[in-house]
Structure 1
Amino acid sequence: MESKINRITDILRRDDGISGAMMYTEQISWILFLKFINDLEINKAEEAELDGKEYTYIIDEKYRWDVWACPKDAKGKLDLMNAQSGDDLLEFVNGELFPYLKGFKSITADVKSVKYKIGAIFEFIDNRIANGHTLREVLDIIDAMDFHSQADLFQLSLIYEKLLKDMGSDGGNSGEFYTPRPLIKTIVDVVDPQIGETIYDPAAGSCGFLIDAYNHIRYEDVKANKQRELSTEQLKFLNEDTFFGNEKTPLSYVMGVMNMILHGIESPNIAKANTLTKDIRGLEEKDRYDCILANPPFGGKEKEQIQQNFPIKSNATELLFLQHMMNYLKLEGRCGVVIPEGVLFQTNKAFQAVKKELLERFNVHTILSLPAGVFLPYSGVKTNVIFFDRKGSTSDIFYYEVNPPYKLTKNKPIQYEHFKEFLEVWKERKLTDNSWIVNVNDIVDYDISAKNPNNIEVVEHKAPLELVESIKANNAQIDGLMDEIKMILEGKDIDA
């Protein structure tokens, strides 16, 4: 399957309508998605038939994959007489198929239905493949993929993750699509979401946090594709009422919803919305969530109109998102959020006020200091992860500093093994060279930055006369070097 995806990306790179990893991932996505929906519908129709029932198809016959994309002859081979290509194929896809799919959102009121989700996806996506013969090639390759079995779907989800990773590694604005999966898994491991809990990401992107939370709940062993035994009611709750998120960027939203569905979550509650436009005051407990997992955007500046939605006004995006998450966390709820280093150490009025509320109303139990370069190539900002729960106020904070054995770069990224010691020690708060504990009473001006006391450099103190002699010796050496440079510039022989 991976080799087929690689072939498709090579084909799309040659198309005049495609430029960059972001665009070819978008185009592969909608085609993969329609093949997936086709196979899903065939499975459901066969299951209904076995139960003596009739399945009602979501997609009308004319727009089903095996009618417009890859019709088959009596032998199950591609029906070359009826398989469109070139301009005819483009005319159908652009003029009929996409308008049909875009209309789904307006003809169904059930926001939890797959039909509504399909409409929501195609509302923000268009076919950008300019050559109909190129599209024909891609359709034929994807048609050979089988998404009927659980193992095939699992393989598809891994391939799609790789596509999103490649798009994230492309740099630029595509960084919003991809938080390193080892970091996501570490945060999910600490927050430890359970079946029956609600899980929320206010800046969902490609839904990496929500998908990892799903895997955490659904699988005993993800790599071995070994699922946990869950009741029908638990599976329904997991599929329909567990995962929630907002994403304001159209393409990120499309990728996120599609990613969730391709991972087997048919009805994710992802809204295309700017989280910060919601007034967080007056929130009821029923509107809050058990677990919040996020890597919200930071470094942005928000307008005065947006700031009015928050008790503590600030134009710093990261401070507004932090307030939002604090207010959306249920009693006994747990949160793990990536924040820039500045949030920890800045002590201006707004930052102090938010951190005061955070320490007094929530239990900030752990701060994970991440190494520089975690988010390369699209951001070099130093970051941390704050873990807090709504179980009383903070008494002391367990800090852990991640120190990989090499400098992180685009080609040498963070690995899950780099968090191994942290995951072993954080719960019991074991002290190592990389960990320490700070009592809340020792925090000054709400500066909660991670300063590892175990990394104090040894300073050699010299007597004043020794310092004077050392300075004189250094100056003499500098004078000698300057004389040599002067002689070279004058064309004289230094050895003369």
Structure 2
Amino acid sequence: MFEQTFNNLDNVLRQEAGLTTELDYTEQTSWMLFLKYLDDLENERSLEAQLNGKPYDFIIEEQFRWAAWAAPKKPDGSFDHDNALAGPDLLEFVDDELMPYLTGFKQRADRSDTIEYKIGEIFDEIESEFKSGYSLREALEYVDELRFQSQQEKHELSELYEAKISKMGNAGRNGGEYYTPRPLIRAMIQVAKPQIGEKVYDGACGSAGFLCEAYDYMKGQSELTTTDVHTLQTRTFYGKEKKSLAYVIAIMNLILHGVDAPNIIHTNTLSENVLDIQEKDRYEVVLANPPFGGKERNEVQQNFPIKTGETAFLFLQHFIRSLKAGGRGAVVIKNTFLSNSDNASRALRQELLETCNLHTVLDCPGGTFIGAGVKTVVLFFEKGAPTRKTWYYQLNPGRNLGKTNPLNDNDLKEFVELHASFSDSEQSWTLEAGEIDQTSFDLSVKNPNLPEEAPLREPIEILDAIAALDKEAAGVLTGIREML
């Protein structure tokens, strides 16, 4: 129903000077979508209050509400073009009045867990990049066609928004940081099994894909009571994100999935000293794909017992300490983590094995992450008891993965099924803790069920073989000359 509206909106954004990437389009779509959602939410709450004979205090002042400046209507409900701001007037209002007003909510809000505070945070990080007030007018009219009033409408909008995030990831550059393949996320959640009443955390949440999928999973587990719904809405999903655009997208994504006031904090997670994490700050479930390849400064490294510049290794330490005893973690990391010989890698593997039950390692093939040239594994662990044995699964979809042939849910079906009983197969096997070298703590993926490859020859053998072939070729040439 809304797909054509999204396409029309993208076409407007592509024509706007200065907006050139999928990241730009998603950013500008997000702030307009948020304000339209907020207007629909306020109107719905106002109507409910009216039906109950109660007053309703609007969050947004009248002159800044959607209907006042973005989409004024005539008494018959049709668009009022005569009173709609356009061109330079619209740009001036948005840049000089609307945006400062919205940013000010951060200072005016009583607490950080309110929607008022989220409004201020969002518009403290994002602003209109439109240079043409006429393009902005056209874009606003398309956004006004969208509705957030029914669950079906929200579901369709969430799918379209996810598609935009996916395109952003496929576009390369920094977009891939925000997108983890949803089939992989869903498989991780099916193994971690978050339950209503548990807190789910992602300290590098990006576009909040893990939290959104966890919400859908938990919402669909059983018939929900009013208390269950309130729990899911207010005290189940928690995230932190360093980058401004990702932070805004995460909030919008969760809202579209049905979480009205997301518990997402805009902060650098790694700036927190992990030794200061208290029991009240811990979670039952951690789901994450932390950024890797980054190099953190020395002052950041001081927040961790195991000093390293590798961002992903710092996040893994943070996640281990953020879990409650008995809590479950599912974390994506580069596969080189399993075998790197540097001190930090070895020490971190040792800590993981000694403080957690690393029960499963999922080995992902190249191409799982579109646009990323690295291979990854997923670590599944439970906090509080040492590892006794680890079940490995080597994912093999039987085809090359890529942009036009991405990972799908069926590719991971066998993994989820076999994991339930830790069954061995051609693609899966078990490693006993006693088999792990206690010096290197090497956890390399070495499938014992595959045929052994012929050992590589020594260099001297190769040189001897080349010499023999040269001698044989020379003999053949001599015979040919004699015949001539």
* 1:218–1:130 Cα change, 3 Å: same
Q: Aligned to 1:281, what secondary structure does the other structure show?
A: helix
Q: Which residue of 2 aligns with 1:249?
A: 243
* In the alignment, structure 1 residue 420 sits paired with structure 2 residue 413: yes
**Aligned residue pairs: how many?**
474
Describe the SS at the equivalent of 2:423: coil
Equivalence for 2:350: 356
Instruction: Look up the SS of the partner of 2:379 in the other structure.
Output: strand
1:388: Cα distance to partner? Answer: 0.1
Q: Which position in structure 2 is the counterpart of 1:35?
A: 36
- Deviation per CA, 1:14-72, whole angstroms, max 9, x where unpaired? 11131111101111111111111111111111111121212211111111111111111
List per-residue Cα deviations over 1:208-262 (Å, max 9, x = no partner).
0011111111125xxxxxxx43223222221111111111111111111121122
Q: Which moved more, 1:242-251 or 1:229-238?
A: 229-238
| 8 A Cα contact 1:374 1:380, kept in partner | no
2: CA distance, partners of 1:332 / 1:90: 54
Alignment partner of 1:302 is 2:296: yes
| 1:427–1:73 distance in 2 versus 1, CA, 3 Å | same
Q: Which residue of 2 aligns with 1:474?
A: 469
Superposed counterparts of 1:131-210, under 5 Å: 131-210=132-211
Letter in 2 for 1:359: L
In the alignment, does 2:282 pair up with 1:283? no
Displacement of 1:397 in angstroms is: 0.3
Q: How do 1:381-400 residues align onto structure 2 when only pairs under 5 Å count?
A: 381-400=374-393
Once the two structures are superposed, residues 449-480 of structure 1 have per-residue CA deviations (whole angstroms, 9 ceiling, x without a partner) of: 11111223353999xxx999976663356659
CA distance in 1, matches of 2:374, 2:361: 17
User: Which of 326, 330, 334 is matched with 1:340 structurally?
Assistant: 334
Q: Secondary structure of the residue that 1:455 maps to in structure 2?
A: coil
How is 1:204-219 mapped onto 2 (pairs within 5 angstroms)? Answer: 204-219=205-220
* Deviation larger for 111-120 or 392-401: 111-120
Residue in 2 aligned with 1:448?
A: 443
Of the three residues 318, 329, 336, the one matched with 2:323 is 329
Structure 2 CA distance for aligned equivalents of residues 3 and 282 of structure 1:
50
Shift in Å, 1:106:
0.7
Q: Are residues 1:114 and 2:115 paired?
A: yes
TM-score, normalized by length of structure 2?
A: 0.93
TM-score scaled by length of structure 1:
0.91
Deviations 1:314-351 (A, max 9, x none): 12212111111111110110000000011111132222
Distance 2:79 2:224 in 1: 40
2:357 aligned partner, one-letter code: N
- Name stretches of at least 5 consecutive residues in structure 2 with no aligned partner: none
Write out per-residue CA displacement over residues 343-370 of structure 1, whole angstroms, 9 at most, x where no aligned residue: 1111322222111111111100000000
Task: Check conservation: 1:364, 1:389, Cα contact below 8 A.
Answer: yes
User: How far apart are residue 126 of structure 1 and its match?
Assistant: 0.8
Q: Which residue of 2 aligns with 1:90?
A: 91
- Structure-2 residue corresponding to 1:79: 80
**Deviation (angstroms), 1:283:** 2.8
Gaps of 5+ in 1: 221-227, 484-494
The 8 Å contact of residues 121 and 258 in structure 1, kept in 2 or not, is answered as no
CA contact (8 A) 1:108 1:116 kept: yes
CA drift of 1:109 comes to 2.1
Residue 412 of structure 1: CA displacement?
A: 1.5
Mapped to 1, the partners of 2:291 and 2:131 lie a distance apart of 33
Q: In structure 2, what is the Cα distance between the partners aligned to 1:482 and 1:130?
A: 76
Aligned-residue CA RMSD (Å): 2.3
Residue identity in the other structure for 2:418 = V
Partner SS, residue 258 of structure 1: helix
Contact residue 362 and residue 392 of structure 1 kept, 8 A: yes
In the alignment, what sits opposite 2:422?
Answer: 429
| SS at structure 2 position matched to 1:343 | helix
Distance 1:167 1:482 in 2: 61
Q: Distance in 1 between matches of 2:462 and 2:69?
A: 84
SS of the residue 2:332 aligns to: strand
Distance 1:25 1:431 in 2: 44
Over 3 Å counting, the alpha-carbon distance change for 1:347 and 1:85 in structure 2 is same
Is 2:63 the partner of 1:62? Answer: yes
2:250 is matched by which residue type in structure 1?
Answer: G
Amino acid of the structure 2 residue aligned with 1:413: P
Instruction: Say which is worse superposed, 432-441 or 2-11, in terms of deviation.
Output: 2-11
Counterpart selection for 2:397 from 401, 404, 422: 404
Partner of 1:457: 452
The AA in structure 1 aligned to 2:272 is K
Q: Structure 1 residues 468, 91: CA separation in 2 closer, same or farther (over 3 Å shift)?
A: closer
Q: Secondary structure at the match of 1:172?
A: coil
Q: 1:190 corresponds to which letter in structure 2?
A: V
